């Protein structure tokens, strides 16, 4: 076991699931909806604005925009109904809306080309894409966007653009131990080349009802402890190891090297894992045994290094203290 950090970080966010339509059909995903289903949706600007306003009033600093990889003519028709011909243009406008309301955007947009990432960069404090695994797993058999080469290229493009970035691995979807280590090594190689990875999520697979993997075994706590310890040994110390506080026992994982809990929302549920509620800050304090420190969606050392655009400079300065963490004293 490793000695745990003297503090653990988190951000306070509002979770905005822009659309649940996705070209991928991952065997474990309970979020995705087929475009022909009654539950398929694209959030309207008015709906997004309501969530953003709730986030601001609840003291959030981050607007987490997340969605799958929508495509096709029928999705284009849905976009047209809300006044857009390009999904990237819509996401850009939503990011600007968040900034206008006083929130720092963090966008998880799936696989993106360099040109689209370049468009989103000025409007985001950070961005993210889970690598999940470099291994070939049956869970991704009908998920073209989960091609490891495509995902690694997106992560590398973020580095070329100097975007503070989040990646991660998904544990228990059919990958081997060698796959886990190679996935972490691949992220390490890209970070050593570009210096842009701020955190790596080590997330445990959770079986979802009505999915092809609903009866599959979730990884044990002991397995997660081992993966977190391996991640801490492989990745440079400046990269935080993040674990989801609503999905796993965090105290033992902190002892193995985890140092961040990700975004915790006082406003919205975890739409990817809606059955798992966010713990309150009071619960987190009691279950961890270490100091809890709030950060922005851009990590402190990237704040200090100035890895942010003029579009969000005023917000970063307003919300951060001299060390790049969330300031205790700020004006709304």
| Residue 5: per-residue pLDDT | 60
**pLDDT computed for residue 332 by the predictor:** 45
pLDDT one-digit tens code per residue, 291-309:
899 999 999 999 999 999 9
pLDDT, average across residues 207-235: 97
Assigned token pair, 165: 């970035």
Residue 109: Cβ-neighbour burial (10 angstroms; 0-12, 13-18, 19+):
buried
What pLDDT shows up at residue 329? 60
Residues 18/65, Cβ–Cβ less than 8 Å: yes
Half-sphere exposure of 308 (CA within 13 A, CB side): 27
Which fold would CATH assign to domain 7-319?
A: TIM Barrel (3.20.20)
- Predicted confidence at residue 270, as pLDDT, reads 79
Q: Residue 112 pLDDT > 80, yes or no?
A: yes
Query: Which residues are bridge partners to 294 per DSSP?
Result: 10
Question: Taking 80 as the threshold, does the pLDDT of residue 286 lie above it?
Answer: no
Residue 2 has pLDDT above 70, yes or no: no
Residue tagged 């691949």 (tokens): 186
pTM of the model: 0.94
Which residue did the predictor score with more confidence, 110 or 249? 110
- Encode pLDDT of 306-329 as tens digits: 999 999 999 999 999 999 999 976
**Averaged pLDDT for residues 2-9:** 70
Q: By the 8 A CB rule, do 58 and 21 touch? A: no
CA distance 217 to 236: 31
Q: Domain spans of the chain?
A: 7-319
Least trusted range by pLDDT, from 65-74, 153-162, 225-234? 65-74
Q: Average pLDDT for residues 132-136, to the nearest whole number?
A: 98
Taking residues 91-117, report their average pLDDT: 97
* Res 77 pLDDT > 70: yes
The pLDDT score that the predictor gives to residue 288 is 73
Contact yes or no for 25/145 (Cβ under 8 A): no
129: pLDDT strictly greater than 70: yes
Q: Name the pLDDT band for 149 (thresholds 50, 70, 90).
A: very high
Q: Do 191 and 218 contact (CB within 8 A), yes or no?
A: no
| CA–CA separation, 241 and 255 (whole Å) | 12
pLDDT at 316: 98
231 with 201: CB under 8 angstroms? no
CA-wise closest residue to 184 among 254, 259, 130, 235: 235
pLDDT tens for residues 15-56? Answer: 999 999 999 999 999 999 988 888 999 999 999 999 999 999
Confidence of residue 282 (pLDDT cuts 50, 70, 90): confident
The pLDDT of 82-110, averaged and rounded, is: 97
Q: What is the average pLDDT across 232-244?
A: 97
Between CA 189 and CA 139, with CA 164 as vertex, the angle to 5 degrees is 60
Helix H, strand E, coil C: the string for the chain is: CCCCCCEEEEEEEEEEEEECECCCCCCCCCCCECCCCCCCCECCHHHHHHHHHHHHHCCCCEEEEEECCCCCHHHHHHHHHCCCCCHHHHHHHHHHHHHHHCCEEEEECCCCCHHHHHHHHHHCCEEECCCECCCCCHHHCCCHHHCHHHHHHHHHHHHHCCCCEEEEEEECCCCCHHHHHHHHHHHHHHHHHHCCEEEEEEEECCCCCCCCCCCCCCCCHHHHHHHHHHHHHHCCCCCEEECCCCCCCHHHHHHCCCCEEEEECCCCCCCCCCCCCCCCHHHHHHHHCCEEEECCCCCHHHHHHCCCCCCCHHHHHHHECCCCCECCCCCC
- On average, the pLDDT of the chain sits at 93
């Amino acid at each position: 076991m490793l000695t745990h950090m003297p503090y653990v970080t988190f951000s306070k966010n509002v979770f905005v699931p822009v659309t649940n339509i996705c070209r991928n059909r991952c065997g474990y995903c309970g979020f995705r909806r087929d475009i022909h289903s009654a539950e398929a949706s694209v959030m309207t600007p008015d709906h997004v604005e309501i969530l953003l306003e709730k986030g601001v009033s609840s003291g959030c600093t981050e607007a987490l925009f997340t969605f799958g990889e929508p495509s096709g003519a029928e999705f284009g028709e849905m976009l047209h109904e809300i006044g857009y011909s390009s999904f990237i243009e819509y996401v850009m406008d939503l990011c600007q809306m968040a900034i206008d309301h006083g929130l720092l955007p963090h966008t998880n947009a799936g696989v993106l080309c360099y040109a689209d990432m370049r468009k989103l960069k000025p409007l985001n404090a950070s961005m993210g894409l889970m690598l999940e695994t470099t291994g070939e797993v049956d869970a991704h058999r009908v998920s073209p966007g989960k091609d490891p080469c495509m995902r690694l290229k997106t992560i590398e493009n973020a580095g070329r653009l100097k975007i503070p970035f989040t990646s991660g691995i998904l544990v228990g979807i059919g990958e081997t131990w060698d796959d886990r280590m190679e996935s972490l090594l691949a992220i390490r190689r890209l970070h050593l080349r570009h210096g842009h990875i701020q955190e790596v999520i080590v997330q445990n697979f959770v079986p979802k009802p009505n999915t092809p993997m609903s009866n599959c075994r979730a990884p044990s706590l002991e397995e997660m402890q081992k993966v977190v310890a391996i991640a801490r040994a492989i990745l440079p110390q400046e990269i935080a190891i993040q674990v989801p506080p609503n999905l796993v026992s965090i105290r033992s994982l902190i002892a193995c090297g985890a140092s961040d809990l990700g975004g915790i929302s006082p406003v919205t549920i975890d739409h990817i894992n809606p059955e798992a509620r966010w713990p309150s800050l009071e619960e987190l304090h009691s279950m961890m045994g270490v100091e809890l420190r709030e950060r922005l969606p851009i990590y402190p050392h990237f704040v200090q290094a100035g890895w942010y655009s003029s579009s969000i400079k005023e917000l970063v300065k307003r919300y951060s203290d001299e060390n790049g963490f969330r300031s205790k004293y700020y004006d709304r």
